[in-house]
Amino acid sequence: METVAAGKSWGMGRVTFRFYAELNDFLPEGKRYRDIEYGFKGTPTVKDAIEALGVPHVEVDLIVVNGEPVDFTYRLRDGDRVAVYPVFESIDISPVAILRPKPLRRPRFVADVHLGKLARILRILGIDTALPPDPDDEELVRISVEEGRILLTRDRHLLKHGRLTHGYYVRADHPLEQAVEVVNRFDLWEEISPFTRCPVCNGVLERVDKEEVLERIPPRTAAWLDTYTRCRDCGKIYWPGTHYRALQGIVSRVLSSRPKGEDRLSKG
């Protein structure tokens, strides 16, 4: 618990925290982009203190105490200066970041039920995104841990789950803006491969001979179109029909949002 007492008694200590970049999104307005004095009793871990201040541990990838990198189990000491940095999924800092087993070089995702529209857009972009039907928190964490997926959610409490190692709090409200945010946050621009995943089940789409699926195609469509794909998992057939232009528009809007030369740690 953060304290404001001016004095200090036996067993109490004070440290200074500084959070960088988007980690400040989790802090109250008055504590963003500045030093934060944190008072404590006993010997809490730096992880406990970070989450007490409101920042989920899965959003953190590097902690530096008094100039040296530490892990989540580090016990705070009176007078420590703690710098906390966000996840660097697009930059390998494994020589100094020891907070998780390894960064995810090719990120895959699992989205909670409230981000269904985001999951569909990511699938349209060709990004592997699981969306389990009506899961509870434990199921989402299990899928994330066992399948090596980054958990996408707008539930900050869920991101503090002790077993969770990779997660991300989605800031934007609109699904298209959420997709741009996720792609930019995890540097997925080179991973985008539109219309290669099933928007319904996330399965991989593959080309299929027209004659093989002819009985499942509307006669008017079969009369003029020869190109079709089929989902390996659910078997759904796809072709560039009347809705295709709208989906192309979604892809184009995401691709047009790619930032140019931004330094994501420039603020903080």
Q: Which 3 state secondary structure label does DSSP give 211?
A: helix
Please give the residue that has the higher pLDDT: either 92 or 218. 218
CA nearest neighbour of 186 among 93, 106, 98, 84: 106
DSSP run (H or E) holding 57 = none
Mean pLDDT score of the chain = 88
Burial class (CB in 10 A: 0-12, 13-18, 19+), 151: buried
Torsion of CA 209, 210, 211, 212, to 10 degrees: 60
67-88 residue pLDDT tens:
999 999 999 999 999 999 987 6
Which domains occur in the chain, in start order? 12-86 (3.10.20.30)
Does residue 64 contact residue 82 with C-beta atoms inside 8 Å?
yes
108-121 residue pLDDT tens:
999 999 999 999 99
Which pLDDT score, from 0 to 100, does residue 98 have? 52
**Mean pLDDT along residues 149-178:** 95
**Residue 101 DSSP label:** S
